[in-house]
């Protein structure tokens, strides 16, 4: 089994931990990760773009001029798409872009993303992340100890001092294990994983 070191926020080694190979040593398939990221980004699209067709444009339905005898092209409505201010033809309408991939594929993708970060030695396991006070400077000092400038922090429960100290720092995001997803893992260079989360991830991804 893979073994990783456990640190405290002062970067002092406090122990070692065996990691489940099925969670952190999975062969990575870039194509599957790409498909999952595409799905997540599609699901986040608002899909609210909307244009007015000729039936939505305000205006009279009266024929602008008689059909024949004027020398001008025939016209039946001021709301015609060929007129300025008229409706739009085949413009975007509100729609949903979301779709779903099989659950097994999504779980496998998560395990691959975690394995990728562990294999690149970009996974840091901490015993805890309790700060004495809510202060951004304290949070930055901890991250500087580990030489981390961009990271996804996975905490087993809400830690107010951590969340409020990190929320204004660009490149960092705090997330519970149940919200973990492939897109956020790949978006951040490092993963900072609190030790109690490992059991929760095993229960979620290996069951």
What's the pLDDT score for residue 40?
A: 97
Q: Is residue 89 assigned to a domain? A: no
Q: Please tell me the predicted confidence (pLDDT) of residue 63.
A: 95
Tell me, what CATH number does 112's domain have?
3.40.1370.10
Q: Is 9 inside any structural domain?
A: yes
pLDDT at residue 2 greater than cutoff 90: no
End-to-end Cα distance, the chain: 19
* pLDDT score recorded for residue 3: 86
What is the mean pLDDT of the segment spanning 178-186?
94
In a domain, 107, yes or no: yes
How many domains does the chain contain in total?
A: 1
DSSP 3-state assignment of 43? helix
pLDDT of residue 173: 94
Q: Say if residue 79's pLDDT is above 80.
A: yes
Q: Is residue 93 situated within a structural domain?
A: no
Please state the rounded mean pLDDT for residues 116-139: 92
Please indicate, yes or no, if residue 187 is contained in any of the structural domains. Answer: yes
Three-state SS at 30: helix
Residue 167 in any domain: the answer is yes
Pairing of strands 151-154, 172-175: parallel
pLDDT at 1 over 90: no
Per-residue model confidence (pLDDT) at position 207: 77
Domain limits at 41?
2-45+98-205
Residue 16's Cβ-side half-sphere holds a number of Cα atoms within 13 Å equal to 5
Tokens of 90: 């085949």
* Secondary structure string (H, E, C) spanning 147-200: CCCCEEEECCCCCHHHHHHHCCCCCEEEECHHHCCHHHHHHCCEEEEECHHHHH
Residue 118 lies in a domain: yes
Task: Give 99-119 pLDDT, tens digit per residue.
Answer: 999 999 999 999 999 999 999
pLDDT tens digits for range 155-178: 988 889 999 999 999 999 999 999
Domain-located, residue 65: no
């Amino acid at each position: 089994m893979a073994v990783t070191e456990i640190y405290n926020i002062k970067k002092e080694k406090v122990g070692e931990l065996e990691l489940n190979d099925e969670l952190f040593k999975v062969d990575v398939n870039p194509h599957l990760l790409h498909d999952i990221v595409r799905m997540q980004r599609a699901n986040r699209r608002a899909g609210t773009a909307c244009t007015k067709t000729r039936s939505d444009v305000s205006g009279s339905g009266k024929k602008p001029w008689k059909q024949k005898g004027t020398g001008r092209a025939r016209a039946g409505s001021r709301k015609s798409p060929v007129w300025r201010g008229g409706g739009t033809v085949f413009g975007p309408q509100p729609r949903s872009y979301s779709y779903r991939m099989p659950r097994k594929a999504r779980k496998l993708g998560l395990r691959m993303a975690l394995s990728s970060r562990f294999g690149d030695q970009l996974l840091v396991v901490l015993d805890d992340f309790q700060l004495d006070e809510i202060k951004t400077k304290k949070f930055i000092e901890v991250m500087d100890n580990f030489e981390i400038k961009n990271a996804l922090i996975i905490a087993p429960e809400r830690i107010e001092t951590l969340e409020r100290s990190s929320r204004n720092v660009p490149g960092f995001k705090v997330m519970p294990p149940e919200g973990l997803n492939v897109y956020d893992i790949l978006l951040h260079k490092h993963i900072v994983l609190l030790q109690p989360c490992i059991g929760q991830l095993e229960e979620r991804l290996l069951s």
